[in-house]
Chain A
């Protein structure tokens, strides 16, 4: 499979703590994206980082990309109960379409 692999599969933290999830992939990419999915809903795009970028910020989100290790991390700072969701990375793997991982399920305890 060309999909990314998120780690951990599940993460439970207290509100206010930081949450870090990782994505590893197998082949060279043009860009990597992170999406969030609330229970029973469609995916929502969070951030896109291109292969020539190393770090990107959006509000409380920080994404890093290490192409030499074929990995990315998503950091959510000062987590809130509303951040409870599944988070997916998606890569293009050099193709014209996206390949999604199986996701990290984040639970933020109030």
Chain B
């Protein structure tokens, strides 16, 4: 998985609780992305980062925030988890930019009860 780790790999939480997912890369790539994957929807972009402290919203950003204080780490926070945020979350990285090849992490399965 190209030097990308995600933690935790599985999480069960309750509605209303905050949740933070971590993506860590060892490739020194500039761009990092958070996607969610749901049946019937494919992958949808939540947020992305184009450098340290530089982030922007994706297609489905409501209810999510991100932070990137170091090149290697990109955090995704669900401020108050809802059942609709039950999903598989993937982190991806790219050295050139969003139009070029992206390398994906192994994913985090999140269940919000």
Contact = CB atoms under 8 A, between A and B. Distances in A.
Is chain B a partner of chain A in the same complex? Answer: yes
Contacts of A102: 40-42
Interface string A4-45: 000000000000000000000000001101010000111111
Interface in B89-113: 90, 92, 97-107
B99 A98 contact: yes
B106 A48 contact: no
B48 interface: yes
A40 B104 CA distance: 12
A97 B100 contact: no
B43 A97 contact: no
B62 interface: no
Interface residues of A, number: 23
Given A31-B99, A42-B90, A43-B90, A97 B42 contact: no
Interface residues of B, number: 26
A100 B43 contact: yes
B99 A96 contact: yes
Contact of A45 (B42, B102, B107): B102
A100 B107 CA distance: 16
B61 to A, nearest CB: 12
Interface of B: 1, 4, 33, 35, 40-45, 48, 58-59, 90, 92, 97-107
22 contacts: A31-B99, A31-B100, A33-B101, A35-B104, A42-B1, A42-B4, A42-B104, A44-B104, A45-B102, A45-B103, A48-B100, A48-B101, A88-B42, A92-B99, A96-B97, A97-B98, A98-B45, A98-B99, A100-B44, A101-B42, A102-B41, A103-B42
Interface of A: 3, 30-31, 33, 35, 40-45, 48, 88, 92, 95-103
